[in-house]
Structure 1
Amino acid sequence: MTASLALCFDAPMQSWGTRSRGVIRDTTREPTKSGVVGLLASALGIRRGDTKALAGLADLRMTVRVDREGILERDYHTTQNVPTTEGKGHRTVVSERYYLADALFLVVLEGDPALLTRLHGCVDRPQWPVFFGRRAFVPARPLRTADSLSDVPAGEVVATHPWLEIDPDAREAERRRARRTPLRTVSDCAPTDPRAEPRHDHPVDFASRAFRTRHVLVDTTELTDDMIGAGGPLCT
């Protein structure tokens, strides 16, 4: 038996880095597996080096539906009085930090019903603070959706779950549009799938920054009248 947990990732700013070392801090265009697992681990109170507990979260199958594509933005940071590597003085470090502005995602996790039930009970009452890639990037609304936990497969959830957009003008514009732009989806898949794309963001141990490669399928799903509905989506 399997289950699915649908979560709403909505915030003014989100950052999902995969190569964020040194002076360049990148972001992908949708949540990474490592970022989502880190958020869930915080909600459950799992420590960075607890590889067994992290493995259970990382083994959940993840599908992301992009309900609103974010705008890629860049912060330009200057940090003064940073010690030099030789320890003989200080220097000024300039860094570039990328993030997504006004992005909105439906994140669906599929797998162990007992684990997903635990997550359903704590994501909006987390053990430790949750955030979207950086500590300052906190959720703008509850993570749980109206029909968050179900026994529906993830593929069916992303094809039928109500659209998470709450802007009435955007909803009315899509309702009237003759041809709608499909919603982009990114889902875990087998490496043997001919359309599989590698992503090096499957966490193994956060304490030692150990990751391995997973494979995803990038696709689209139609934005239907039923998904738009008569009013905005509800969060619990």
Structure 2
Amino acid sequence: MVTSLALCFDAPMQSWGTRSRGVIRDTTSEPTKSGVVGLLAAALGISREDDDAIAELARLRLAVRVDREGILERDYHTIQNVPTTKGTGHRTVVSQRYYLADALFLVVLQGDEDLLSRIASVVDRPYWPVYFGRRAFVPARPLLPPNGQPVAAEAEEILGSHPWLETSKSLRDSEIAKSERVGLRTAIDCPPRTTHAEVRHDHPLSLADGRRRFTTRTVLVDQLPLTDSMITTGDTPCS
């Protein structure tokens, strides 16, 4: 039996970097596998040094539906009194850090039922604080509704049927009135030989400080229609 768990990633700011070393810190346009695994590890109280537990989380299949595309923004940072590489003085370092503003994602995890049940039991009562890429980027609403649990379904089935997570009344009303709606972008883990698959270098092998290692995964990017059945008039829970 295939089991999946749907989570809501909603925040004023989110950052999902893949090339975040040095003075330029990037962000992708949807959550990365490494970022999601890191968040789940924090919720479960799993140490960065525990490579086996990190690998177990990384084996979960990841599927993302973009319910609201974020706006790419940039922070300008300066850090003073940074030692020079020669050790002969100090300097000021300027960095540019990108993030997504007002993005909203339906994140679906597919895999081991026991692991997904453990995640569901702690994700809104985490062992360590959870955040979306930076410590200041905290969730704007619960990742799961009360008593949210894994369900027996494929990730694609949940992406295609789960209620739209948008909370803006004006936007929801405008979409309800449209005869032709813009599709919702999706990014789903897929086998390497899938037609039109994209390669992402964000599958974590280790998240330990000083020895972080990643490998590639393949993702199929597509679009789903925003149907009448997905646009509800009440609350928009994630499970």
Q: TM-score band, normalised by the shorter chain? A: over 0.9
The equivalent residue for 1:120 is 120
Matched, 1:151 2:138: no
Q: Which residue of 1 aligns with 2:196?
A: 195
How far the C-alpha of 1:49 sits from its partner, in A, is 1.4
Residue number in structure 2 paired with 1:227: 230
Q: Give the secondary structure class of the aligned counterpart of 2:150.
A: strand
Name the count of aligned residue pairs. Answer: 236
**Distance of 1:148 and 1:170 partners within structure 2:** 29
Amino acid at match of 2:213: A
Give structure 2 stretches of 5+ with no counterpart.
Answer: none
Are residue 132 (structure 1) and residue 132 (structure 2) matched? yes
Query: Which sits farther off after the overlay, 62-71 or 46-55?
Result: 46-55
What letter matches 1:218 in structure 2? V
1:36-78 CA-to-partner distances (Å, cap 9, x unmatched) read 0000000000001111111110000000000000000000111
- Give the corresponding residue for 2:74: 74
Match of 1:213 among 213, 216, 230: 216
Map of 2:50 onto structure 1:
50
> Aligned residue for 1:38?
38
RMSD: 1.2
Q: Note if contact 1:7-1:148 (Cα within 8 Å) is conserved in structure 2.
A: no
Q: Are residues 1:84 and 2:87 paired?
A: no
Give the equivalent residue in structure 2 for 1:168.
Answer: 169
Separation in 2 of the partners of 1:17 and 1:58?
17
How many angstroms apart in 2 are the aligned matches of 1:126 and 1:57? 16
How much identity, in percent, do the aligned residues show? 66
- 2-structure distance, mates of 1:17, 1:204: 16
Q: Residues 225 and 148 (structure 1 numbering): CA distance in 2 closer, same or farther, change over 3 Å?
A: farther
How far did 1:148 drift?
Answer: 4.9
Q: For the residues of structure 1 that align with 2:48 and 2:88, how far apart are their CA atoms?
A: 33
Q: How far apart are 1:230 and its partner, in Å?
A: 2.1
- Provide the rounded CA distance (Å) in 2 between the counterparts of 1:17 and 1:11: 16
Q: Distance in 2 between matches of 1:34 and 1:183?
A: 23
AA aligned opposite 2:168: D
| 1:194 maps to amino acid | T
Match of 2:180 in 1: 179
1:27 — aligned with what?
27
TM-score normalised by L of structure 1: 0.97
SS at match of 2:120: helix
2 CA distance for matches of 1:145 and 1:3? 18
TM-score, normalised via structure 2 length: 0.96
SS at match of 2:65: strand
| Aligned partners of 2:165 and 2:238 also within 8 Å | no
Q: Could you tell me whether the CA contact under 8 Å between 1:81 and 1:92 is conserved in 2? A: yes
How many Å apart are 1:152 and its aligned residue?
A: 1.3
